[in-house]
Amino acid sequence: NLPPVIAIDGPTASGKGTVASLVAKKLGFHYLDSGALYRLVALGSQKASIEPQNGPELGILAKKLVISFKNGQILLNSEDVTDAIRTESIGLRASAIAVHPEVRQALVGVQHGFRVAPGLVADGRDMASVIFPDAVLKIFLTATAEARAERRYKQLIAKGISAKLEHLLHDLQERDARDSSRGTAPLLVADGAEVLETSELSIDQAVKTVLDWYQSKV
């Protein structure tokens, strides 16, 4: 009897991370940000000068990385990389290395390891379709590309990082296209998943919708 999983998939900057972590907090569940794992491999491979095209080498690297999540901090080989993995360039590199089956395979066990009582909220691209196909609740959380670019823009400006809206929209569309068209674990609405369109919703409204759907399942 494995602990229950709520799987939340969706495109980049859809707000799934914010919604998923708040739902986890409300329920007292664990939280998995699977995108962070791909970002860690991207950063690690950059440090090791491995080309994003080199699937076999990237797979070996991904298996060797020592990853830990502690009190909101993300450590890679005991170095704090919490902020370093959040840049746009690491995001793009993550989507490039994520196409390789060797990389995806290397991260399966780590992801399953997060499924601990009393339960897990996991967000990513293939949580419902590949990693946790038996999730009690599957959600495809999305918003228009324009709404997502605008959210990302506001986040960056609030952090004091300069950004151009049209560049963000362009990067986001490039990443969406790559994530949706790849052969292994493409971004898609999984069988049995509920679609949650958040362009017009506040964070609180999105969180409440997920909690209501979950209550109706258990």
Residue 156-185 contact track with ligand C5P, rule CB under 6 A, x = bound? -------------------x---x------
Is 35 one of the binding residues for ligand C5P (CB under 6 A)?
A: yes
User: 87 labelled as ligand-binding?
Assistant: no
Residue with tokens 């049209």: 166
Q: How far apart are the first and last CA of the chain?
A: 15
User: 198 labelled as ligand-binding?
Assistant: no
Is 39 one of the binding residues for ligand C5P (CB under 6 A)?
A: yes
Strands (E), 82-178: 120-124, 137-142
Q: Whole-number minimum distance, CB 94 to ligand C5P, in Å?
A: 4
User: 68 labelled as ligand-binding?
Assistant: no
**Cα–Cα distance measured from residue 172 to residue 178, given in angstroms and rounded to the nearest whole number:** 10
Is 119 one of the binding residues for ligand C5P (CB under 6 A)?
A: no
List Cα–Cα distances, 179 to 9, 57, 94, 110, in angstroms.
Answer: 12, 21, 10, 21
By CB under 6 A, name the one of 6, 65, 98, 207 that touches ligand C5P: 98
Nearest to 4 by CA among 164, 121, 149: 121
Instruction: With CB under 6 A as the rule, give the number of residues binding ligand C5P.
Output: 14
Q: Is 80 helix (H, G, I), strand (E, B) or coil?
A: strand
Residues that bind ligand C5P (CB under 6 A): 12, 34-35, 38-39, 91, 94-95, 98, 124-126, 175, 179
Which segments are annotated as binding site for ATP? 10-18
